[in-house]
């Protein structure tokens, strides 16, 4: 995944299997890519690659892996892990912890927002949306959009 977004586009154009799932983890390509965010967050191509996968494999963006996680869950879990690492570092001052945690939050929020804009959900949201309450809430939201209340 350390290559430019254009190379990924070339693979996709040449019929790379976007429905591929890792046989052991059940991860789709988006799970794998977003898991690399913390290490690659400074790479300008990273968001382009995420956007490319979001548009090219829209039907797979909410794939739940064998651990019960969607790509959005993976990002949120990685964020929580990195934030914990910052806050529990005994060698860093409180001011530095605050600065680092704010920077980390900003970076992860941009990725989380992008995923949500494209319809990514957590596994919990997917489960809720299949309940009668979730279906009712969805229909009610659609109704409100129609009548513009």
Q: Are 61 and 54 in contact (CB under 8 A)?
A: yes
pLDDT of residue 89: 93
* More confident position, 77 or 38: 77
Region 21-35: mean pLDDT is 93
Are the C-beta atoms of 120 and 70 separated by less than 8 Å? yes
- At residue 95, does pLDDT exceed 70? yes
**pLDDT mean across residues, the chain:** 89
Q: Is the pLDDT of residue 44 over 80?
A: no
In the predicted structure, residue 100 carries a pLDDT above the cut 80: yes
Mean pLDDT of 56-84: 95
Q: What is the reported pTM?
A: 0.83
């Amino acid at each position: 995944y350390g290559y430019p977004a254009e190379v990924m586009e070339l693979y996709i154009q040449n019929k790379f299997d976007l429905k591929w799932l890792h046989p052991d983890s059940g991860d789709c390509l988006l799970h794998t890519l977003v898991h690399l965010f913390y290490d690659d967050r400074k790479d300008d191509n990273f968001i382009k690659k995420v956007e490319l996968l979001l548009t090219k494999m829209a039907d797979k963006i909410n794939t739940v892996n064998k651990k019960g996680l969607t790509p959005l869950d993976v990002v949120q879990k990685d964020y929580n892990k990195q934030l914990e690492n910052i806050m529990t570092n005994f060698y860093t001052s409180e001011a530095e912890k605050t600065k680092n945690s704010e920077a980390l939050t900003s970076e992860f929020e941009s990725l989380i927002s992008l995923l949500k804009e494209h319809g990514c959900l957590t596994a919990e949201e997917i489960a809720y949306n299949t309940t009668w309450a979730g279906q009712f809430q969805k229909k009610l939201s659609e109704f409100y959009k129609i009548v513009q209340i």
